[in-house]
Chains A and B, each alone.
Chain A
Amino acid sequence: MDPTIEINERVDVVVIFRKHADIGAFCVPYRMRWRGRDIELSELALRHPTTQGKRMLHVFHMSDGVNDYRLEFDAEALIWMLVALLPGTGGDL
């Protein structure tokens, strides 16, 4: 029914800061290390901010071309979390 899998684990993330004429730069996750595996993130599907109280979180919905990932960056604690993933067809987790 709901194919997403809750993970809620801290991950290491490499980001790139893309140049932007108006805001200077913005951050896009590029590679993630999760459970010892390096995962190349090829598509940013959606980014949206959210809050927990006054705490700002940036939600990044990413895809590696097979599986989809929900990553959250805690702007106060500077922590990346892999919150959930959605396995694609033929994906290897």
Chain B
Amino acid sequence: MSQPPDNNDAGMVHGGWALPYLTPAPLPKPDAGNAHGTASYTGSHQTVSGRCRTSGDAAKYHLNTEEPQLMHIDLNSAFASAEQQAWPSLRGRPMGVTNRISKECCVIAASYEAKALGIKVGCRRTEAMALCPDFVMLETDPSKYTFMYQNLMRIMKTYSPNIKMKSIDEGVIDFHGTRLVNSRSLCEIGMEIKQRMKDEVGKFMRVNVGIGPNRFLAKTAAGLHKPDGLDTIDHTNLIDIYKSLELTDLTGIAEAYGARLKAHGIHTPLQFLEAPDDLLRRKVFKSINGLHWHERLRGYEVDDYVTNLGMVGRQWVVKTPSNDDEYLRSCLHFLTETTAMKLRFRNVEARGVCVWLGFAAGGGWKDKQMLHTTIYTNQDIWLQVSRLFDRRPGHMVVRIMGLYLYELTPSTRSQLSMFDDVEKADYLTKAMDEINDFYGSFTVYSADTLTGTRHVKQKIPFGGTEYFELLLKRA
């Protein structure tokens, strides 16, 4: 009789219980630190040591000298790591994850082994196979990633009530106001979070931790030593860090902004830091963004805000590009129903509707309409979407399609309506939502979407975490 399963690397937490047999490895002890309290670690965690500069740089550049209180947590190659955790045979192999395996599908997450071969996010399947014939591609498994997300969030919440998830695989802990209760160094806490992810989710889970005085610098620190890094950026080492980076290494500066900065003689992060706020505001960014960048680069917080919901929508790359009206209509109807679910999940109503298409031959088509009254139910939204869709150039082969609803206002559906028909439609929609909540996604749906339900797959939402609960309900 063999030994019972070895589950030392298992994700064995459910509902916030940790396992007793998983003894966390002893945490590395921070070095004595420097005069500014910036710790550095030795061993596998590379850390940019804070050099004990004089306050000259801080004064010269007007840097924020506050002790860093923001921690950015980033799961490394999150989806790929989750799959490697679940399937031990894939560990150490180049592999990636895609939403739906097709001839021209893209890698949405690549393992570190794949990245080492040049296979990055956005790489097409054919390109990946050319680079590595043994490349393994799996389809996404939302429940697995949501489990990772929930555990990451649960662990983060044990350190501060003020956390914000930035996406499914990253979040920020704000330690302001907690230091009287928890006086441990953030480096020590960062190491503990890394260990807890390994103990409570799986030993293959690696986490980057960045600590800084604002969200921007914390995120920058988290990206310095991937995978599994832990870095602190504060006013003592900020200049050294900027000297080691390219402009486009800065979060939020991609090619377009990079070109704009270069056009004004700003070629490095240090030159960006030295640029006067007036130049950034009036000439480079031509908006308040310039001033925000001036503050952000110095470690002052400008990114702690809540964005308003502007639109809800859905898009889909057509599985088999086609101009078949029945097929496209069914898929669009399905997209409409899932968009309507999102709308009701956020408890808002929409006045604007937009439908857009991308054609296989290149180019696209888009039409939108602003309505006099708000729409909320599946039937109302589909009626408007369908009308717009009828105006498309019917002969064109569609490669990608999407819709979005805009001009959102808080829902007033709980109020009594003067019209019986309106109430009946609302009740019907509510009843359908409740049945689908209870029995699973698309237990009851419009017959017209039958083709769509077969072809359109639930995607993992990137960039936002607003719909995870809905995603879980519908899983």
The range of chain B's interface size is: 35 or more
A53–B437 touching, CB < 8 Å: yes
Tell me, in angstroms, the Cα distance from A52 to B439 when the chains sit together: 7
A residues engaging B (CB < 8 A)? 1-4, 16, 18-23, 26, 28-30, 40-55, 59, 61-63, 67-68, 70, 86-89
From B87, B90, B201, name the one whose CB has the most chain A CB atoms within 10 angstroms. B87
Rounded to whole angstroms, the CA-CA distance of A30 and B7 in the bound complex is 11
Given contact pairs A2-B138, A3-B136, A43 touches B6 in the complex (Cβ within 8 A): yes
A61 touches B475 (CB 8 A): no
Given A28-B4, A55-B440, A87-B89, 12 other A-B contacts at CB below 8 A? A1-B136, A4-B87, A4-B138, A16-B4, A44-B6, A46-B85, A47-B14, A48-B14, A51-B473, A52-B439, A53-B436, A68-B88
Render B1-41 as a binary contact track against A, CB cut-off 8 A, 1 for contact: 01111110111101001111100000000000000000000
B175-216 residues at the A interface, CB under 8 angstroms: 201-202
B446 at the interface (CB under 8 A from A): no
Which residues of chain A come closer than 8 Å to B7, judged between CB atoms? 18, 28, 43-44
Q: Are A46 and B86 in contact (CB under 8 A)?
A: yes
Chain B hits for A1, CB < 8 A: 101, 125, 129, 135-137
Contact B475 A51 (CB under 8 A): yes
Q: Is B147 within 8 A of A22, CB to CB? A: no
Q: Report which of A23, A30, A54 forms a contact with B439, defined as CB distance below 8 A.
A: A54
Asked if residues B439 and A20 are in contact (CB atoms below 8 Å), the reply is no
User: In the complex, A67 Cα to B87 Cα: how many Å?
Assistant: 9
Instruction: Give the top 10 A-B pairs by smallest Cβ distance, nearest first.
Output: A53-B440, A50-B143, A44-B7, A48-B147, A61-B86, A44-B10, A53-B439, A46-B86, A52-B440, A46-B11
Q: Does B144 contact A (CB under 8 A)?
A: yes
Tell me the complex Cα distance, A67–B202, Å: 19
A-B contact pairs, 10 of them (CB 8 A): A22-B17, A23-B17, A28-B4, A44-B10, A47-B10, A47-B12, A52-B439, A52-B440, A59-B144, A68-B87
Closest B residue to A1 using CB positions: B137
For B435, the closest partner residue in chain A by CB is A53
- In the complex the two chains form, is A61's CB within 8 Å of B5's CB? no
- How far apart are A92's CB and chain B's nearest CB, in angstroms? 14
Cβ contacts under 8 Å, B12 to chain A: 26, 44, 47
**A55–B89 alpha-carbon span in the complex (Å):** 30
Q: Say yes or no: A86 contacts B90, CB within 8 Å.
A: yes
Contact for A21 among B20, B137, B147, CB less than 8 A: B20
Please pick, from B2, B3, B147, B202, the residue contacting A49 in the complex, using a CB distance under 8 A: B147
A61 in contact with B4 (CB, 8 Å): no
Bits for B383-410, please: 1 = Cβ < 8 Å to A, else 0.
Answer: 0000000000000000000000000000
Residue of B nearest to A59 (CB): B143
